[in-house]
Amino acid sequence: MNNSYRWVIVAVGALMTCVALGAMFSLAIFLEPMALDTNWSRTGISSAMTLNFLVMGAGGFAWGAIYDRVGARPVVFAGAVLLGLSLVVASRANSLIVFQLSYGVIVGLAASAFFAPMIALTTAWFDTHRSLAVSLVSAGMGVAPMTISPFARWLITAYDWRTAMFDIGIMAWVLLLPAVLLVRQPSVAVAAADSGAPAPVADDPGFSVGQALRSPQFLVLGMTFFACCAAHSGPIFHMVSYAMSCGVAPMAAVSIYSVEGLAGLGGRVLYGVLGDRHGAKPVLIVGLVIQAVVIAAYLAVGNLEQFYLLAIIFGATYGGVMPLYAVLARDYFGPRIIGTVLGAATLLSSLGMSFGPLAGGMIFDAYASYSWLFIGSALVGLGAAGIAIAFPPQPGRERLQAA
């Protein structure tokens, strides 16, 4: 494989995940100005994010399957077109339902066209340093809160929310459409596609999609991914509110979230390097245990400095373990159906992500406290580590367990 061009794929993947996920998660920046301008309820506007997670899950599975058939470039081209279009339409929405459909449904569908396909493409380009490469692609998500969100805030302050959202849609087209031209399959796969013959794959275990999705390997992968995301999504979403309830000033509480995002960048690199050296499975298990312990430790914090310390560990850990699921999927199932398998795993992780914020809100409404959220999330996190221990032996170390 071309050792230089594969890093171009990593850079393009990081850019795409940054722009797509940054545009989606910037809804939090738009919430207040939209509510004041339109008189739409905050619940109604926020529900677009719930739709994003649900649609991202289903979309990730569908786009992953399409990737396995046609490659990455058509998929990310469609995602780039849809992302800009959906933001432009949402910026002109005159009713809440139109906004929910355009931002909640189409943005979620567009964003899901980048993550699983670009991660799958990256695993196809790398025989060595695979964990690090996948981690760097997913690092785009960590950069997004420090780039797209502040840019959105500046545009809203300088103009208004509609102009800001419209401009971000145009920016998505300007950045992503040229980047699509840099997306390529590895040379062996391209040559095979041109000749009409199946690509020769040395490490393909021979699973069909049905066999893969029913296999012990996928069941453990999917259940671990779901539990991991269910564990950290509630604490992430409610962290600012929890910090304020502990006496932290509002602006300082917001900075805790920023610290988590910044730590996540370093965590992705650290866990990627460790995964390459020691294997994805043991590094994932250790990371899941650390995540659970840190979530529980939030119950004992008393000042901003302690919040920052835990935010560094928490952000580095949940950011670091996420790319390892893609590495495990590639190791277990090979490159031929990696898009479909990773898309199915992403579907389960999105369901886990949608569970945490809702559970946290219900717990606070019932008890006027977040204590049970962090207790429950820590237990779910330990459960994720327990499930991960059941991963069958990894290929290359012992014989792959048949479906």
For the segment 342-365, what is each residue's pLDDT rounded down to a tens digit?
888 888 888 888 777 777 777 887
DSSP 204-225: -----HHHHHHSHHHHHHHHHH
The yes-or-no verdict on residue 71 having pLDDT over 50 is yes
Q: At residue 262, does pLDDT exceed 90?
A: no
pLDDT per position as a tens digit, 30-62: 877 888 889 887 678 877 877 888 888 888 888
Residue scoring higher pLDDT (314 or 340): 314
Cβ-proximal residues to 155 (8 Å cutoff; 6+ apart), any chain:
163, 164, 167, 168
Q: What CA dihedral angle connects 287, 340, 106 and 223, to 10 degrees?
A: -40
Residue 357's pLDDT is 72
Distance CA 182, CA 384 (A): 37
Note the pLDDT of residue 394.
61
- pLDDT mean across residues, the chain: 84
Q: Is the pLDDT of residue 397 over 70?
A: no
Whether residue 384 is predicted with pLDDT greater than 90 in this model: the reply is: yes
| 273 vs 146: CA distance, rounded Å | 24
Give, in degrees to the nearest 5, the angle at Cα 115 between 170 and 13.
Answer: 70
Q: Which fold has domain 5-194?
A: Growth Hormone; Chain: A; (1.20.1250)
**What pLDDT was estimated at residue 401?**
41
Please report the pLDDT score of residue 253 as a whole number: 76
CA–CA separation, 13 vs 122, rounded Å?
A: 8
pLDDT (0 to 100) of residue 356: 76
Cβ atoms of residues 340 and 64 within 8 Å: yes
Percent of the chain with pLDDT over 70: 91
Answer whether residue 199 shows pLDDT above 80: no
pLDDT over 90 (residue 251):
no
Over residues 89-136, the pLDDT tens digits come to: 999 999 999 999 999 899 999 998 998 889 889 888 887 787 788 878
Task: Record the tokens describing residue 12, joined without a space.
Answer: 């393009």
DSSP state of 304: H
Mean of pLDDT values over 359-387: 89
pLDDT digits over 137-184, tens only? 877 777 776 778 778 878 988 899 999 999 999 999 999 999 999 999
Residue with token string 């310390």: 309
N- to C-terminal Cα distance for the chain? Answer: 30
Residue type, 232: H
**In the predicted model, is pLDDT for residue 231 greater than 80?**
yes
Q: Read off the pLDDT of each residue in 2-8 and give the average, rounded to a whole number.
A: 81
The predicted structure's pLDDT at residue 53: 80
Q: How far apart are CA 17 and CA 72, in angstroms?
A: 14
Which of 326, 323, 330 is CA-nearest to residue 396?
A: 330
DSSP 370: S
- CATH pick for 209-389 out of 1.20.58.2050, 3.40.640.10, 1.10.260.40, 1.20.1250.20: 1.20.1250.20
Residue 215 has phi, psi (to 5 degrees) of -75, 155
What local confidence, expressed as pLDDT, does residue 248 receive?
84
Nearest CA-CA partner of 85 in 24, 166, 21, 148? 166
Q: Are 396 and 332 in contact (CB under 8 A)?
A: no
Region class of 7: left (phi > 0), else alpha (psi between -120 and 50), else beta:
alpha
Question: Looking at the predicted structure, is the pLDDT value of residue 193 above 60?
Answer: no
pLDDT tens digits for 282-318? 999 999 999 999 999 999 998 899 999 999 999 999 8
Q: Which of 195, 293, 304, 196 is nearest to 240 (CA)?
A: 304
Residues 6+ apart with CB under 8 A from 326: 119, 120, 123, 134, 138, 342
The CB-side HSE value for 111 (13 A sphere, CA atoms) comes to 34
Q: If you average pLDDT over residues 258-272, what whole number do you get?
A: 83
- Asked if residues 23 and 107 have their Cβ atoms less than 8 Å apart, the reply is yes
Report which DSSP code applies to 40.
Answer: -
Residue 388 has pLDDT above 80, yes or no: yes
What's the pLDDT at 395? 56
**Sole residue written with tokens 């919430």:** 31
Above 80 in pLDDT, residue 237?
A: no
CATH 1.20.1250.20 intervals, the chain: 5-194, 209-389
Instruction: Give the pLDDT confidence score for residue 381 in this predicted structure.
Output: 95
> Cα 342–346–347 angle (5° rounding)?
120
* This prediction's pTM: 0.72
- pLDDT, residue 97, reads 93
pLDDT at 191 over 60: no
Among 261, 230, 184, smallest CA distance to 18 is for 261
Q: How confident is the model at residue 205 (pLDDT cuts 50, 70, 90)?
A: low
Q: Which of 4-18, 236-250, 264-278, 389-403 is most confident?
A: 4-18
Residue 130 and residue 327 in contact, taking contact as beta carbons nearer than 8 Å: yes
Burial of residue 35 (number of CB atoms within 10 Å: 0-12, 13-18, 19+): middle
What is the per-residue pLDDT for 204? Answer: 62
332 is written with which tokens? 């277990």
Residue of 299, 291, 250, 311 whose CA lies nearest to 388: 291
SS3 301: coil
Specify the length of the chain in residues.
Answer: 403
